[in-house]
Amino acid sequence: MSEGDMRWRDVSPAPGQAVPSPQAPEAVHIRSGPEIIAAAVKTLPNGPGVYRMISQAGDVLYVGKARSLKKRVQSYTRLGGQNNRIARMIHLTASMEFVSTETETEALLLEANLIKRLRPRFNVLLRDDKSFPYILISDDHAAPAIMKHRGARKRKGSYFGPFASAGAVERTINAMQKAFLIRTCSDSVYDSRTRPCLLHQIKRCAAPCTGEIGLDEYADLAKGAKAFLAGRSRAVQTDLAMAMEAASATLDFETAALYRDRLSALSHIQSHQGINPQSVDEADVFGIHRDGGMACIQVFFFRTGQNWGNRAYFPKADKSLSAAEILSSFVAQFYDDKPVPKLVLVSDDFEDRALLAQALGEKAERKVTVSVPVRGEKKELVEHALSNAREALGRKLAESSSQARLLNGLAEALGIDRPLRRIEVYDNSHVMGTNAVGGMIVTGAEGFAKAHYRKFNIKSDDITPGDDYGMMREVMHRRFSRLIKEFGRPADPDVEAAGGPDESADSPSDALPAWPDLVVIDGGKGQLSAVMGVMKELDLTDLPLVSIAKGQDREAGRETFFQPGKAPFALPHRDPVLYFIQRLRDEAHRFAIGSHRVRRKKAMTANPLDEIGGIGPSRKKALLRHFGTAKAVSRAGLNDLMVVDGISRQMAEAIYDHFHESGE
Structure confidence by residue, pLDDT tens digits, 551-576: 665 555 678 999 998 999 988 887 88
pLDDT (mean) for 15-25: 41
Least confident range of 107-111, 310-314, 606-610: 606-610
Quick one: average pLDDT of 597-625? 75
Separation of alpha carbons 147 and 141, rounded Å: 13
pLDDT of residue 58: 87
Most confident of 82-86, 149-153, 319-323: 319-323
3-118 CATH pick, 3.40.1440.10, 3.90.850.10, 1.10.287.810, 3.40.50.300: 3.40.1440.10
pLDDT given for residue 656 in this prediction: 86
Residue 640 has pLDDT above 90, yes or no: no
State the average pLDDT for the chain: 81
Between 656 and 605, where is the model more confident? 656
413-451 pLDDT, tens digit each: 999 988 899 999 998 886 555 667 888 999 998 888 888
CB 551 within 8 A of CB 568: no
- pLDDT above 60 (res 521): yes
Residue among 356, 365, 368 nearest 327 (CA): 356
pLDDT class of 401 with cuts at 50, 70, 90: confident
Residue 594 has what pLDDT?
A: 81
Q: Taking residues 294-320, report their average pLDDT.
A: 86
Residue 39 pLDDT greater than 70, yes or no = yes
Give the DSSP H or E segment for 456: strand 454-457
Question: Whose CA is closest to 131, among 184, 169, 185, 172?
Answer: 169
Q: Give the whole-angstrom CA distance, residue 620 versus residue 570.
A: 57
Mean pLDDT of 342-359: 93
Q: What's the pLDDT score for residue 559?
A: 85
The pLDDT, as a whole number, for residue 638 is 87
Rounded CA separation 76/78 (Å): 5
Alpha-carbon distance 447 to 455, whole Å?
19
Predicted local confidence at residue 235, as pLDDT = 65
Contacts of 411 by beta carbon, 8 Å cutoff, 6+ apart:
417, 418, 419, 420, 518
For residues 240 and 246, is the Cβ–Cβ distance under 8 A?
Answer: no
What is the C-alpha to C-alpha distance for residues 79 and 101, in angstroms, rounded to an integer?
A: 28
Residue 203 corresponds to which amino acid?
Answer: K
The residue ranges of every structural domain in the chain are 3-118, 134-271, 283-395, 414-501+510-602, 608-659
The pLDDT assigned to 344 comes to 94
Average pLDDT over every residue of 289-312: 85
| Helix (H) / strand (E) containing 476 | helix 468-487
* DSSP track, 531-582: HHHHHHHTT-TTS-EEEEE--GGG-TT--EEE-TTS--B---TT-HHHHHHH
Sequence-distant (≥ 6) Cβ neighbours of residue 664 within 8 angstroms: 638, 656
Task: Assess whether the region 3-118 and the region 608-659 belong to the same CATH fold.
Answer: no
Which of 222, 142, 137 is closest to 190 using CA atoms?
142
* CATH 3.40.50.300 is the classification of domain 414-501+510-602: no
In three-state form (DSSP H/G/I as H, E/B as E, the rest C), the secondary structure along 36-100 is HHHHHHCCCCCCCEEEEEECCCCCEEEEEEECCHHHHHHHHHCCCCCCHHHHHHHHHCCEEEEEE
Query: What is the amino acid identity at position 47?
Result: G
Tell me how far apart the alpha carbons of residues 199 and 185 are, in angstroms, rounded to a whole number: 10
Q: What percent of the chain has pLDDT over 90?
A: 29
Say if domain 608-659 classifies as CATH 1.10.150.20: yes
Instruction: State the DSSP string of 177-222.
Output: HHHH--B-S-HHHHHH-SS--HHHHTTS---GGGTSS-HHHHHHHH
The whole-number average pLDDT for the span 318-337 is: 90
Q: Which CATH superfamily is domain 283-395 in?
A: Ribonuclease H-like superfamily/Ribonuclease H (3.30.420.10)
- Indicate the pLDDT class of residue 183, thresholds 50, 70 and 90: very high
Residues 443, 513: contact at Cβ < 8 Å?
no
